[in-house]
Amino acid sequence: MPRRSQAEAARTHDAILDRAVTVASTHGLEGLTIGRLATDMRMSKAGVIGHFGSKERLQLEALDRAIDDWRAAVWDPVAHEEPGLPRLLAIARRWSEFLGDCPFPGGCFLTAASFEFDDRPGPVRDRVREALALWLRVLAADARRAGLDDPDQIAFELNTIAMGTNSAVRLQEDPTAARRCRRAMERVLTR
Amino acid sequence: MPRRSQAEAARTHDAILDRAVTVASTHGLEGLTIGRLATDMRMSKAGVIGHFGSKERLQLEALDRAIDDWRAAVWDPVAHEEPGLPRLLAIARRWSEFLGDCPFPGGCFLTAASFEFDDRPGPVRDRVREALALWLRVLAADARRAGLDDPDQIAFELNTIAMGTNSAVRLQEDPTAARRCRRAMERVLTR
DNA sequence: TTACGTTACGAACGATCGTTTGCTATTTTC
DNA sequence: GAAAATAGCAAACGATCGTTCGTAACGTAA
């Protein structure tokens, strides 16, 4: 295959990332391999890695892509809601829907990455941690605005519910998980 | 190294499993490799795998060991408590202590395995799922005994809190996570 | 039109993966 | 005491890992 134009190369880059996010959602960011990605994309390994320089940078770009996707799916639809309890309730609804019917075949990418890298120092872990910490601050800020007691505890609880729900959906294949998730979150918010 | 007696071989077997559980708690059951295990144990790869037959059987034995350890650390100390709310509160205390100060360097093994294998069919996933389902039934039974509304929802919520707490402890290195975990569980039980 | 930059390839690198084979040394069994 | 069973090793298997190299083909800018 000959060289493509720069515009086409950018599309190739994107397509590789799409595939990377899909594969990593089930096999993990570490289980993601250049060779498999190359086969899937009908490219050479060198052609794939050439777009990123190293596997770690590929992992980081895939992670950023997944974060963007997540924000677009969960945060953007509710960002316009009134800050405080109304927005928290909207988040509870949207978040649990997202977990119950996830766009990635392996469930929530960020939850999986959290557990995969929680004990492995490096830029991937740092990035996951940063994204999660930001989200916890967003939740706590709205909880404070809503006048709820101990906003950090509220944020903590909402996040644990979401992570556990991912497991209930994927591992236990519990069809009621999304409903239970929303119910649990609403209980936290309205007690 | 010459052959050892059967009693010594059993000890070797156990020592390999100990190491396997430790390594897998941070690197995952898939990141666990025979070669690394052999180096750690100062054995040959063949000597290691000879005890288990295949990597998958090693994974399953390590998983069973981790399940036993977990039960000894969390369930056994509270099993004698009065079934119902008293035991659930004891579980909340013991479980959150366990999560905050885990014997494995990589945090709760079962939580990690849940997320690692939740989308990968096979005996490992089946075993994790079975163990978790059993635990959920135990929790729900006590919740029912306690007269709590929707016992399955209670079990679901307690489990999500535990899983999320593991992430807060490991990834966020949140020193208040264990306390928040216990508080969240008690709120679920006494509302 | 020429020169340069870049995409992507094929091939190879050393390392490591899980597993198998052949063997030795020892324990266990008869 | 002879024979069978077995723990563990050394070496090698083919496969795959991430990465590097040289090169061809093409787009882009001078």
Report pLDDT digits (tens) over B57-87: 999 999 999 999 999 999 999 999 999 999 9
- Is B31 part of the contact surface with chain A (CB cutoff 8 Å)? yes
The three-point CA angle B65-B174-B188 to 5° equals: 75
A106 band by pLDDT with thresholds 50, 70 and 90: confident
Q: Tell me the Cα Rg of chain B.
A: 18
Taking CA–CA distances from A172, the nearest residue in chain B reads: B129
**Max Cα distance, chain B (Å):** 63
- pLDDT tens for each residue of A134-159: 999 999 999 999 999 999 999 999 99
Q: Is B54 within 7 A of strand C by CB distance?
A: yes
Q: Residue A130: its pLDDT value, please? A: 97
With bands split at pLDDT 50, 70 and 90, how would you rate the model's confidence at B2?
low
Interface test with B, best of A21, A111, A119, A158 (most B CBs within 10 A): A119
- Å separating the CA of residue B53 from the C1' of nucleotide C21: 15
> Nearest-CA distance from A10 to chain B in Å?
31
Question: What residues 135-164 of chain A have any CB closer than 8 A to a CB of chain B?
Answer: 136, 152-153, 156-157, 159-164
Q: What confidence tier does B126 reach under pLDDT thresholds 50, 70, 90?
A: very high
Strand C within 7 A of A43 CB: yes
Q: What is the pLDDT of residue A4?
A: 64
pLDDT digits (tens, 9 = 90+) for B130-174: 999 999 999 999 999 999 999 999 999 999 999 999 999 999 999
Residue A67 has pLDDT above 70, yes or no: yes
The whole-number average pLDDT for the span B27-48 is 97
Instruction: Please report the domains of chain B, with CATH numbers, ordered by start residue.
Output: 6-189 (1.10.357.10)
Provide the pLDDT for residue A105.
85
Kindly tell me if the per-residue pLDDT of B54 is higher than 70. Answer: yes
- Residue B33, min C-alpha distance to chain A (Å): 13
- Under 8 Å between Cβ of B88 and B139: yes
Q: Does the pLDDT value for residue A3 go beyond 60?
A: no
Residue of A102, A163, A63, A30 whose CA lies nearest to B168: A163
Determine the pLDDT at residue A191: 84
* Signed CA dihedral, B67, B73, B75, B76: sign only: positive
Nearest to residue B104, comparing CAs of B26, B163, B16?
A: B26
The stretches of A122-172 forming alpha helices (DSSP H) are: 123-145, 151-170
Instruction: Please give the helix or strand (H or E) that residue A55 lies within, else none.
Output: helix A55-70
CA distance A30 to chain B (A): 9
- The reply to whether B51 Cβ lies less than 7 angstroms from strand C is no
B33 touches strand D (CB under 7 A): no
- Cβ of residue B7 lies below 7 Å from strand D: no
Say if the Cβ atoms of B160 and A184 lie within 8 Å. yes
Residue B82 approaches strand D within 7 Å at CB: no
Question: Residue B117: closest CA among chain A residues belongs to which residue?
Answer: A171
Token digits of residue B106: 């990589």
Task: Say what percent of chain A tops pLDDT 70.
Answer: 97
Which residues of chain A make contact with B177, given a CB cutoff of 8 A? 156
Give, in order, the Cα–Cα distances in Å from B55 to each of B20, B32, B62. 11, 9, 10
Helix H segments across chain B?
Answer: 6-31, 34-41, 45-49, 55-70, 76-79, 85-100, 109-117, 123-145, 151-170, 177-189
